[in-house]
Chain A
Amino acid sequence: MSRLEKRPEPSRRMMLASPLIAAVAMLLTGSVMFFFLGQEPLHAFHVYFIKPWTTLYGVGELLLKATPLILCGVGLAIGFRANVANIGADGQLTVGAIAAGAVALYFDQVQAWWVLPLMLAAGALGGMLWAAIPALLRTRFNTSEILVSLMLVYVAYHLLSYLVHGPMRDPDGFNFPQSKMFGESATLPLLVEGLRVNAAFILSLVAAAAAWFFCKHTFAGYRMQVSGMAPAAALYAGFSEPRNVWLAFMVSGALAGVAGVGEVAGPLGQMQPSVSAGYGFAAIIVAYVGRLHPLGVVLSALLMSLLYIGGETAQIELQVPSAITGMFQGLLLFYLLAADLFIHYRFKPRKRHLPAVVGETA
């Protein structure tokens, strides 16, 4: 028997190790689950977690899926650092996609280089606009940004649904609820011919690098970090809370909006009733598993992307239900939170107060 003992100071080593522990625990749980689903665990494990890496196409898909997760995850991480809980990235992503889609459809006949940059700008603005609502209500009326940003996710879904059933619907599309396909100049260029990964991936890496610079080397980034870790100190230093809230929401809204552009101007190529496979929510896990650090986010986004792709591969090859992906995502976060215990605590063998009787524990 052992008991937990508080460490004199948080363990840096555990801080880096706990995401790895969580990932390993999740992979082990995955293998056990495959066993209960009647699969040969090692084979299933191989199909789910290894196979996507073995082909060039698979790697391309991994990077493609990681793109919106990095973009949303980096933005959310900046907010979470300052205790600003933006949970509505999926809504901001959706509105970003709507704004970009509106630009693409409006300039449908135009073949020009500026259409794509305009879409990106519109997407970023759309995401910021949607993020401005919870920021405004939190700073003006003290309303929980968690609940407001979440409610707006559902509003955004319905807005998109209205648009693809109505104003944005392709007139020649046999009444399918989707827009016409975007033209060449409204589609993101592919990175490698034959793969679906596109220029948005580069943007996501740039965003992660910029976020790293922001957190590490700017005063605003420092201010946000202090506010998150020591609110009282931040108050004493005169750091403005509203300014942090606004900054966090504007950055994460813009990045989520760009992620939305990446979807509609990338793999989808048109407006559809749903443009996100829950990336905004998965990005919450990505941010935490990435230790709220921009570079960590990139790595954890790749892991999360592997869960998506592996899920699809396993569904096709093993007839394992794809819903398993969502379970793995949730489990990963559970394990991370549990493993974080060891940052502040360590196991210590319990001292026996009575002399042990020989053979008692045999």
Chain B
Amino acid sequence: MVLPFGLLMLTALLVSLAVARQAPSEPIPGRADIITIDGLRAFGPLERPPVVFFHGKHTEALAKAQKDCLACHPQGEKYLSLKYNRTADTDKQAVMDVYHDGCIGCHADYRSQNQPSGPVTCGECHVAEKAVNNIRAGIGLDKSLHYRHVKAAEQKCERCHHAYNPETKQLYYDKGKEGACLYCHKDQTQENRIAYRQAAHLDCVGCHRELSLQKKTAGPMECAGCHDPEAQALIAKVADIPRLERNQPDVTLVKAHREDEKVDAQKPRMALVPFDHLKHEGATQYCRTCHHAELTSCASCHPIQGHADGKMVKLSQAMHEQDAQMSCVGCHTQKQLRAECAGCHASMPAEKVWAGEAACKVCHMPQEAPVARPGYEMLASEMAASLIDARRQIPPPVAVEDIPETVIIDHLVDAYEAVKMPHRQIVQKLSDLMRDDALAAAFHTQPTTFCQGCHHNSPASLKPPQCGSCHGRTSDAMNLTRPGLMAAYHEQCMLCHEKMGIEKPANRDCTACHAKRAETARNN
């Protein structure tokens, strides 16, 4: 364990020499067009390392020579084959020969014409470790991009959307059942479904190419056009996107059962949850953010008891799982990370936020549902609408004169003078930030709810207790989880400022909050 000192020194010297000898390496330029050619994996273990191939480099070089995709990709059934110089993988030797003859042959041609060219020996392509900086970012059709395609395809959904008929083994268009490509096309090819990546490149790039051959406006055909983060940022956004039509409700009651389950409608066990679907459509870029497997109600896969279709995830988990992006609570928890929320919420334990009865009641409306007109069963949508209206009855804010204007913090005056905290200003600033936020309005049920951001661990009220009611002058030996008064103030103010991105006053600029006290005053 303990090396002799001399050996240690020698090691240190060698290490320092080695470090010193390394010239500072140039950063590797990022590429979005890196493809790993390892097609032979299908025929067993590879004999040589797979080839790291820059697709964009080749399209550029070929474009200069007035060649297009056909130079490498033969025509397939509908669009060009995604494979290099072949439409199918027959056997190992054949596939290997295609690459070796094609790549080396082409490189040799370019070489003989004294043009920039690629490698021709084995070791130059089959490199075990190649330093590359892959910046490829995935791309999806968000609402804006989807709408641009809808417009270009003149509402012909069948241009992209299809379903598979196992009897005829044909793709067909199933109107009204459109969904995200990812619902069927997964990471890996499964039976009759090609992998998502193949499906996207086959159809997207294929269609883009056809349109460009017809001299029409078309999307990108080279890798970077879709997958370079900088290029993605340049994709035009449609300002006012018309709503996607897929028979979805504007408002609904959250279902708790599958379609085929018998439900005793007379006995709902839980307060009803009205759901404003329209509002949530506006808050997300993709239907699949919530509808992650298919465009049906959550309960069709996640009923109360769970179901194999939904991997036995129960409704309560699907709705409340804090770490899941597509659960209600998970997504709302993410929203609390926004700067205007994080000031208070960063120091609030998540379970405390979500465990209170008040939080449950925000969604689970009490059973005082509006009484249905006699002889008339209220539709779920009508019931939901009226409940949502009831939910939107926001109590009036606290009157300005009820908010203390300035709070003097002088319990601990010693090295520094008292702090004059602009209390009302802070409250009003926070109110302004939340004014137009429906989520904040819904969950901050009382006008005094957000006072509890600072006045925590006490009931919401117009006259909450002062910090000193709980935080002693020094740290509490009996309760080490509760800071003393000075730490409580500093932590509360500083953490909030940090999370809200407020740079001034800086944490270590003591006099920005409290003036330094004269020595003479201190000793009295």
Please indicate whether A and B come from the same complex rather than being unrelated chains: no
Interface residues of A (CB under 8 A from B): none
